[in-house]
Amino acid sequence: MSLQENYNNIKKQLPQNVELVAVSKTHSVSAIQEVYDFGQKVFAENKVQEIMEKHPLLPKDIQWHLIGHLQTNKVKYIAEFIDTIQSVDSEKLLNEINKEAAKNKRKIKVLLQVKIAEEDSKFGLEISEADNLFQKFISGDFPNVEITGLMGMATFTDDKNQIKKEFSVLKNVFTKLNEKHSLKTLSMGMSDDFPIAIECGANSVRVGSAIFGRRDYTN
Ligand SMILES: *Cc1c(COP(=O)(O)O)cnc(C)c1O
């Protein structure tokens, strides 16, 4: 299938209120440009090096998201242009993003990445930690950061009930935090599980291989 067919196929499965984040990691600048030309404006990468190489070569109105684990010492390289950092998994990182955003006289949008998968995943906040960070944000810590929502990844499994259970946990956390301070984005679901994520309340999905095709190496 062509990029255009893949893209149309995904778009038609998304309800109007669900944002599509096109995950372009490992794919070429020309493939990204092509998908941009279909009207896609939001793209995500998981590596600082790669996003730094690609973004100067592509249209200025692309909203770049970072979705991979981010080391604090690398925040400075993306602080000037990144639209949203979806993978905030520690207070230390949030502090650093706040500091670098201030240096650039801007606000950076972030999502708190919450650990919901049963499998042993290295990154992500415990629910209590996310709650705690959000409380600090509401109290005025991190003035150059805007926590706009939550991000989560389900266990890599064929068991739909397991995936559903994990997404539902995050949806509940989202609902609870949203009562304290309005949140916009619940980012869950990738190529293989985005329909389940939407069923469970996601309003943003991160789709890579179903648009761009398989990646040559796993990331
Ligand atoms: C790679 C990646 C995706 C997209 O995965 P696909 O299965 O290719 O759609 C989504 N979210 C994160 C955090 C990723 O690293």
**In ligand 1, which atom is closest to the CA atom of 25?**
1
For range 32-61, the mean pLDDT: 98
**Which amino acid residue places its CA nearest to atom 11 of ligand 1?**
206
- Residue 214 confidence (pLDDT): 83
User: 125 alpha carbon to ligand 1 midpoint, in Å?
Assistant: 18
Tokens of 129: 């930690």
User: 105 alpha carbon to ligand 1 midpoint, in Å?
Assistant: 30
User: 205 alpha carbon to ligand 1 midpoint, in Å?
Assistant: 9
Given its phi and psi angles, is residue 124 left (phi above 0), alpha (psi -120 to 50 degrees) or beta? left
**Which amino acid residue places its CA nearest to atom 6 of ligand 1?**
208
- Express each pLDDT in 154-163 by its tens digit: 999 999 999 9
- Residue 31 confidence (pLDDT): 97
The three-state DSSP-derived secondary structure of the chain is CCHHHHHHHHHCCCCCCCEEEEECCCCCHHHHHHHHHCCCCEEEECCHHHHHHHHHHCCCCCEEEECCCCCHHHHHHHCCCCCEEEEECCHHHHHHHHHHHHHCCCCEEEEEEECCCCCCCCCCECHHHHHHHHHHHHCCCCCCEEEEEEEECCCCCCCHHHHHHHHHHHHHHHHHHHHHCCCCEEEECCCCCHHHHHHCCCCEEEECHHHHCCCCCCC
User: 207 alpha carbon to ligand 1 midpoint, in Å?
Assistant: 6
For range 155-179, the mean pLDDT: 96
For range 205-217, the mean pLDDT: 89
Check pLDDT > 60 for residue 48.
Answer: yes
- Express each pLDDT in 101-141 by its tens digit: 999 999 999 999 999 998 777 689 999 999 999 999 999 99
In degrees, rounded to 5, the angle at the alpha carbon of residue 135 between the alpha carbons of residues 186 and 144 is: 75
- Residue 219 confidence (pLDDT): 46
**Which amino acid residue places its CA nearest to atom 14 of ligand 1?**
67
- Express each pLDDT in 69-110 by its tens digit: 999 999 999 999 999 999 999 999 999 999 999 999 999 999
Tokens of 68: 């991979």
Check pLDDT > 60 for residue 201.
Answer: yes
For range 178-200, the mean pLDDT: 97
User: 24 alpha carbon to ligand 1 midpoint, in Å?
Assistant: 9
As its CATH architecture, domain 3-207 has Alpha-Beta Barrel (3.20)
- Residue 52 confidence (pLDDT): 97
- Residue 216 confidence (pLDDT): 65
Q: What is the mean pLDDT of the chain?
A: 96
Confidence label for 4 from pLDDT (cuts 50, 70 and 90): very high
Check pLDDT > 50 for residue 150.
Answer: yes
**In ligand 1, which atom is closest to the CA atom of 67?**
13
Residues with CB under 6 A from ligand 1: 23, 25, 46, 67-68, 153, 190-192, 206-210, 219
What percent of the chain has pLDDT above 90? 94
Check pLDDT > 70 for residue 29.
Answer: yes
Check pLDDT > 80 for residue 215.
Answer: no
- Residue 217 confidence (pLDDT): 55
User: 22 alpha carbon to ligand 1 midpoint, in Å?
Assistant: 9
User: 191 alpha carbon to ligand 1 midpoint, in Å?
Assistant: 7
Best mutation site among 46, 70, 156 for ligand 1, i.e. most ligand atoms within 8 A of its Cβ?
46
